């Protein structure tokens, strides 16, 4: 094989999803770099591939990149695979590839599974435009701010989610987008307990929060763009109204108007306004 860096997508669950080209390339390269040698070792064992492995993960990416590029410059062929799915999508790989570009090395992608495209393909959303934001920020304040930005942007948005946070995230979605917001969830895609939900945020919150088994595994969440003419009152969160008014008016006036518009108690709105001010 000629001196090349191959970026190879691997299955996100079902091992049969690996491509023939991926197997062929993994068999023929001089070296396979991967996130976790034990993890990739199991994948290779399944396909009876015996090959030298070296680890490249987010903590050693700079030193290992040097070594890999030297190997390729010396005439070797190297494959990079992440633990699952497509490298560089919420996974390491981008630094290595960028350095290879800077060195004018030959780079070849071997496409295949990704949780991102797998989930979108079963979402039934006829949109040519979407944004992928990886994982939501881990702090609650930043997470809500990101969801608020998505609400304001009104663009179909896909993100990855962890089992620990899925219920909290659904609660935050209800808070910002309203309980009627349609949400698509792909859980354990391509695996034994694959579940695909497309329902109102409140129904999914009820279903998933009440069933611990539904909270296990790996998740992709999709929020579709809301058509402008269907922006009903229930789609606009109380917090959103309050934030807009707080930006334009003194606190007391914003509280009074929000309470009147939303038919809420002034004291309750006042406390929410203080929280928003403190977040800033």
Residue 150's Cβ-count burial label (10 Å; 0-12, 13-18, 19+) is: buried
Q: Which residues pair with 186 in a beta bridge?
A: 196, 220
**Which single residue brings its beta carbon nearest to ligand SAM?**
85
Residues 6 or more apart whose CB falls under 8 angstroms from that of 49 comprise 23, 26, 27
Give the x/- contact pattern for ligand SAM in 162-191, rule: CB under 6 A: x-----------------------xxxxxx
Q: Cα–Cα distance between 84 and 35 in angstroms, integer?
A: 9
3-state SS assignment for residue 7? strand
Q: Scan residues 60-119 and list those touching ligand SAM (CB under 6 A).
A: 82, 84-86, 89-91, 114-116
Q: Between residues 214 and 238, which has the closer beta carbon with respect to ligand SAM?
A: 214
Q: Between residues 151 and 160, which has the closer beta carbon with respect to ligand SAM?
A: 160
Q: Least distance in Å: CB of 160 to ligand SAM?
A: 3
Q: Between residues 179 and 215, which has the closer beta carbon with respect to ligand SAM?
A: 215
Tokens 């930005």 identify what position? 149
Q: Scan residues 205-234 and list those touching ligand SAM (CB under 6 A).
A: 218-220
Q: Cα–Cα distance between 81 and 275 in angstroms, integer?
A: 44
Q: How many CB atoms lie within 10 A of CB 253?
A: 12
Q: Least distance in Å: CB of 220 to ligand SAM?
A: 5
Q: Between residues 30 and 194, which has the closer beta carbon with respect to ligand SAM?
A: 194
Q: Scan residues 241-280 and list those touching ligand SAM (CB under 6 A).
A: none
**182's tokens:** 């349609």
SS (H, E, C) 169-220: HHHHHHHHHCCCCEEEEEECCCCCCCEEEEEEHHHHHHHHHHCHHHHCCCEE
Q: Between residues 97 and 246, which has the closer beta carbon with respect to ligand SAM?
A: 97
Q: Scan residues 10-69 and list those touching ligand SAM (CB under 6 A).
A: 12-13
**173's tokens:** 């979605």
Q: Cα–Cα distance between 199 and 181 in angstroms, integer?
A: 8
Q: Between residues 120 and 151, which has the closer beta carbon with respect to ligand SAM?
A: 120
Under rule CB under 6 A, how many of the chain's residues touch ligand SAM? Answer: 24
Give the x/- contact pattern for ligand SAM in 113-152, rule: CB under 6 A: -xxx------------------------------------
Interface residue list for ligand SAM (CB under 6 A): 12-13, 82, 84-86, 89-91, 114-116, 160-162, 186-191, 218-220
């Amino acid at each position: 094989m000629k001196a090349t860096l191959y970026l190879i997508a691997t299955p996100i669950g079902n091992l049969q999803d690996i491509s023939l080209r991926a197997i062929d390339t993994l068999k023929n390269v001089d070296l396979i770099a991967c996130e976790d040698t034990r993890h990739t070792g199991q994948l290779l064992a399944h396909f009876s591939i015996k090959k030298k492995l070296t680890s490249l993960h987010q903590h050693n990416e700079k030193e290992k990149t040097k070594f890999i590029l030297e190997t390729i410059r010396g005439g070797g062929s190297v494959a990079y695979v992440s633990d699952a799915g497509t490298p560089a999508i919420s996974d390491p790989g981008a630094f290595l590839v960028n350095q290879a570009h800077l060195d004018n090395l030959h780079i070849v992608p071997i496409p295949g599974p990704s949780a991102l495209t797998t989930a979108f393909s079963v979402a039934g959303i006829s949109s040519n435009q979407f944004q992928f934001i990886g994982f939501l920020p881990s702090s609650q304040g930043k997470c809500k701010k990101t969801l608020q930005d998505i609400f304001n942007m009104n663009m179909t948005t896909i993100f990855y989610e962890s089992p620990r946070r899925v219920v909290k995230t659904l609660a935050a979605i209800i808070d910002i987008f309203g309980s009627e917001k349609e949400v698509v969830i792909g859980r354990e895609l391509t695996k034994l307990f694959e579940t695909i939900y497309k329902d109102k945020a409140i129904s999914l919150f009820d279903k998933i929060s009440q069933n611990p088994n539904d909270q296990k595994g790996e998740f992709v969440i999709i929020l579709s763009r809301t058509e402008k003419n269907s922006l009903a009152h229930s789609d606009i969160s109380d917090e959103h109204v309050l934030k807009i008014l707080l930006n334009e008016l003194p606190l007391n006036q914003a509280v009074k108007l929000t309470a009147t518009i939303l038919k809420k108690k002034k004291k309750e709105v006042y406390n929410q306004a203080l929280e928003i001010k403190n977040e800033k």
